[in-house]
Amino acid sequence: MQVVTVVREELSEFFILEIVLQTKMSSRGCGQFATDVEKGLFAVLSLSNSSKNLKTNQLKEVCRVLTMKQASAILLYESLSDSKQESNDRDILKEVGINVLESDQVKRVLGQRVDLADVVRS
């Protein structure tokens, strides 16, 4: 395994576990985080073409969830929380371009958004 691959995986995991899931973020903070990751981290490590790296794809999807419009994020959270829709979770996620993260992971990320505090019960 190449050193850059190990660094990619470790940094992606760090950003998800230690920054996103430990920090409540405003909508501006979510946007800034996504920009920093996409234009900073991905550019430095040339991650934008790394479609086979699971951790990198997870981080990209975390950024997508963090930067969703509020109404879309609320609808996504409510759809994933509806017990009647439980068997459709994968289809719901695919509709919004989420292919790697699981529904419980998406709900945890949504729980970090301050603008969803009235909807999401972390």
Position 102 pLDDT exceeds 60: yes
3-state secondary structure of 113: strand
- The encoded tokens of residue 35 equal 């920009």
**How does residue 46 score in pLDDT terms, banded at 50, 70 and 90?**
low
Hey, what are 72's tokens? 């879309």
**Structure pTM?**
0.86
Cα 99 to Cα 16: distance, rounded to the nearest angstrom: 16
Query: Is 47 a residue whose pLDDT tops 60?
Result: no
CB-facing half-sphere around the CA of 94: CA atoms within 13 A:
4
pLDDT at 48: 47
Q: Please say if the pLDDT value at position 50 is more than 80.
A: no
Confidence at residue 81, expressed as pLDDT on a 0 to 100 scale:
93
Confidence at residue 44, expressed as pLDDT on a 0 to 100 scale: 74
